[in-house]
């Protein structure tokens, strides 16, 4: 390796390709971590601090000066200080004239202040060029070599040249700058690190609600009813039988809920005769979290598979099989093989296996690393065509499982049908409506509407 190689340059700030000095206000956790990273990348760093005493925590190649002295040494000043303390910058306004001020601050709450911290900084120091950056990177990530999740740095600012200078620094640190436009974007960038899985809220809350509902439903039907009418204690069903009933119900219902907004959107577009009108807000939000709904459904399907695998080793199941064999032996009578039952049980299992296989395939193709490698048509083919095939297979799996008991009075306890019957409601609605929508008399106008055709001009009188 030659002496001019980039690796050596990164560690040796005093080479011929010397970088411009960067000033950092604040010697706290973030200021120090950023300073350390910048020195590694070859930037001379000068800290502006209330105390000029060098502490052992401060990177050893950095200088520590007063705010005013440090500001004079650099064109770019990173303000690694909480917004509440920005007032100290007002007396420095003259020195900061024309400098690039980088606002890295975050807040404790979403939309905590009427304006973003970066806009507030621009108001305090009107002569400076404020750029928002680095707030989505943590001090810990900078120190520990940056993780993939924190490699992206959102940058925004009104001055193009200032923004470019900051983006160059971001790149030099081995991070990826993402230009978000003017300083108006700062509020959104500041809210970003405060969001907690925003797309997962609805799917998770809905799943929790459905789990609670179906748990009590199964408890009433499968534990309380036999106890009241037959004096049988099936309370142990709570451990495996009831969860193994809830998981497939949730998997099927949530999978159907992934496709329901699509058919609702189609009906709305057909009714309106145009695609140029916004869907209701709730439908928009529902469509945005379809991937998360599908992944939660896949998690329940996987749990169902695991619960099913342990069925043969359950004590209750082994007891039932052995007592059946003993009763046949005592009666000296062997039951002949029921061919219909054998067919039904094998078909039910085959449909379940195929449905789960496609379910997993859908999950894999939704991963960014896979979906980024297929084109839009391929992605749509997998998510729409294979998705509907999965829904058909899983619905058929449930229908074959219990179809023969639909009309049997014993399937209704306290007038409540078996829980799996409820799980068929949404999937059957989705599949029937989708089936109707593929008829040419509806599919053709829908395709034309989606290509931009309008049944009647929206703005005519
Ligand atoms: P910190 O450890 O509390 O450091 C803040 C620094 O601000 C202090 O060390 C102090 O530096 C300076 N300061 C405190 N009171 C001051 C005052 N009244 N006047 C002037 N300066 C004052 O906080 P931090 O974690 O480094 O965070 C600094 C900024 O970076 C915050 O806006 C935060 O939102 C942002 N940020 C932090 C992280 C992170 O992971 N920590 C990530 C992204 C963004 P001196 O003693 O040298 O004056």
Q: Give one DSSP letter per residue of 40-53, joined into a string.
A: HTT--EEEE-S--P
Ligand 1 mutation target, pool 31, 101, 141, most atoms within 8 A of CB: 31
Ligand 1 neighbour 85 (Cβ under 6 A): yes
The residue whose C-alpha atom lies closest to atom 42 belonging to ligand 1 is 138
Of the listed ranges 64-73, 317-326, 363-372, the least confidently predicted one is: 363-372
pLDDT at 114 over 70: yes
Examine the pLDDT at 5 and tell me if it is beyond 70.
Answer: no
Q: How far is the CA of 26 from the centre of ligand 1 (A)?
A: 6
**Ligand 1 contacts CB of residue 13 (under 6 A):** no
pLDDT for the residue numbered 15:
47
Triad 290, 291, 293: Cα angle to 5°: 60
What is the CA(18)–ligand 1 centre distance, in A?
A: 28
Which residue has its alpha carbon closest to ligand 1 atom 9? 28
Residue 259 has pLDDT above 70, yes or no: yes
Own/partner contacts of 306-312, CB < 8 Å, gap of 24 or more, are 307/240, 307/243, 307/244, 307/247, 308/244, 310/240, 311/240, 311/244
165 alpha carbon to ligand 1 midpoint, in Å? 23
- The CA-atom distances, in angstroms, between 314 and each of 194, 234, 292, 446 are 46, 14, 33, 52
Whether the predicted pLDDT of 11 surpasses 60: no
Q: Report how far ligand 1's centroid is from the alpha carbon of 83 (Å).
A: 9
CA of 82 to the centre of ligand 1 (A): 5
Q: Probe ligand 1: pick from 80, 124, 193, max atoms within 8 Å of CB? A: 80
Q: Which residue has the higher pLDDT, 407 or 44?
A: 44
pTM above 0.85, yes or no: no
Q: Tell me what pLDDT residue 2 has.
A: 39
- Other CB atoms within a 10 A radius of the CB of residue 406 amount to 12
Instruction: Tell me the percentage of the chain whose pLDDT exceeds 70.
Output: 94
459 pLDDT band, cuts 50/70/90, is: low
Instruction: List, in order, residues 6 or more apart from 304 with CB less than 8 Å away.
Output: 244, 247, 248, 251
Q: Does the pLDDT of residue 12 top 80, yes or no?
A: no
Mean pLDDT, residues 10-18 taken together: 51
Structure tokens at 75: 């064109």
Query: For the ranges 32-41, 101-110, 116-125, 414-423, which has the lowest average pLDDT?
Result: 414-423
Q: Is the shortest distance between the CB of 292 and ligand 1 below 6 Å?
A: no
Distance of CA 293 from the midpoint of ligand 1 (Å): 39
Output 179-185 pairs: Cβ under 8 A, ≥24 positions apart.
Answer: 179/155, 180/154, 180/155, 180/156, 181/156, 182/156, 182/157, 182/158, 183/116, 183/118, 183/119, 183/122, 183/130, 183/132, 183/156, 183/157, 183/158, 184/156, 185/132, 185/154, 185/156
What integer best gives the mean pLDDT of the chain?
Answer: 90
Burial of 34 (0-12, 13-18, 19+ CB in 10 A): buried
Distance CA 162, CA 156 (A): 10
pLDDT above 90 covers a percentage of the chain that reads 73
From the CA of 64, give the closest atom in ligand 1. Answer: 47
Only one residue has tokens 């750029």, namely 131
Looking at residue 155, what is its pLDDT? Answer: 97
Lowest mean pLDDT among 222-226, 260-264, 372-376: 372-376
105 Cα: distance to centroid of ligand 1 (angstroms): 8
Please state the rounded mean pLDDT for residues 332-356.
92
Question: At residue 8, does pLDDT exceed 80?
Answer: no
Query: Cα(333) to centroid of ligand 1, in Å?
Result: 83
In whole angstroms, how far apart are CA 78 and each of 25, 102, 109, 130? 6, 5, 22, 10
Residue whose CA lies nearest to ligand 1 atom number 33: 105
pLDDT confidence of residue 381 = 85
Residue in this structure with the two tokens 């809350």, named with its chain if needed:
205
Task: Give the pairing type, strands 152-157 and 129-132.
Answer: antiparallel
Q: Of all atoms in ligand 1, which is nearest to the CA of residue 136?
A: 43
> What confidence tens digit (pLDDT) does each residue in 262-321 have?
999 999 999 999 999 999 999 999 999 999 999 999 999 999 999 999 999 999 999 999
């Amino acid at each position: 390796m030659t002496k001019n190689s980039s690796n050596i340059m990164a560690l040796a700030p005093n080479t011929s390709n010397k970088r411009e000095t960067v000033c950092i206000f604040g010697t706290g956790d973030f200021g120090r971590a950023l300073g350390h990273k910048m020195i590694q990348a070859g930037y001379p760093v000068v800290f502006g601090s209330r105390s000029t005493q060098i502490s052992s925590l401060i990177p050893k190649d950095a200088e520590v000066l007063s705010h005013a002295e440090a500001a004079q040494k650099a064109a770019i000043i990173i303000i690694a200080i909480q917004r509440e303390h920005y007032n100290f910058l007002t007396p420095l306004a003259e020195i900061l004239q024309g400098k690039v001020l980088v606002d890295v601050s975050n807040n404790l709450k979403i939309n905590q202040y009427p304006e973003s911290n970066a806009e507030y900084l621009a108001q305090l120091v009107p002569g400076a060029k404020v750029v928002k950056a680095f707030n989505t990177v943590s001090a810990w990530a900078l120190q520990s070599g940056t993780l993939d999740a924190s490699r992206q740095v959102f940058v925004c600012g009104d001055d193009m040249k200032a923004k470019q200078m900051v983006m160059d620094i971001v790149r030099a640190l081995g991070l990826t700058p993402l230009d978000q436009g003017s300083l108006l974007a700062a509020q959104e960038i500041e809210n970003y690190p405060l969001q907690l899985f925003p797309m997962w809220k609805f799917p998770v809350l809905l799943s929790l609600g459905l789990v609670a509902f179906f748990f009590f439903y199964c408890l009433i039907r499968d534990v309380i009813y036999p106890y009241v009418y037959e004096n049988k204690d099936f309370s142990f069903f709570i451990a495996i039988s009831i969860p193994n009933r809830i998981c497939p119900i949730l998997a099927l219902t949530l999978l159907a809920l992934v496709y329901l907004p699509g058919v609702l959107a189609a009906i709305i577009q057909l009714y309106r005769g145009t695609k140029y009108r916004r869907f209701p807000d709730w439908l928009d939000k529902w469509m945005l979290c379809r991937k998360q709904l599908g992944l939660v459904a896949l998690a329940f399907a996987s749990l169902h598979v695991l619960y099913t695998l342990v069925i043969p080793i359950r004590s209750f199941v082994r007891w039932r099989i052995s007592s059946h064999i003993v009763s046949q032996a005592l009666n000296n009578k062997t039951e002949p093989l029921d061919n219909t039952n054998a067919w039904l049980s094998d078909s039910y299992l085959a449909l379940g296996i195929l449905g789960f296989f496609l379910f997993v395939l859908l999950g894999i193709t939704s991963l960014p690393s896979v979906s980024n490698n297929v084109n839009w048509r391929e992605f749509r083919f997998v998510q729409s065509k294979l998705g509907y095939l999965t829904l058909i297979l899983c619905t058929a799996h449930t229908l074959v499982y219990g179809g023969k008991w639909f009309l049997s009075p014993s399937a209704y306890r306290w007038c409540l049908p078996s829980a799996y019957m409820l799980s068929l409601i949404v999937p059957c609605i989705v599949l029937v409506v989708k089936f109707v929508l593929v008829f040419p008399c509806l599919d053709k106008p829908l395709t034309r509407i989606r290509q931009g055709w309008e049944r009647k001009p929206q703005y005519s009188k």
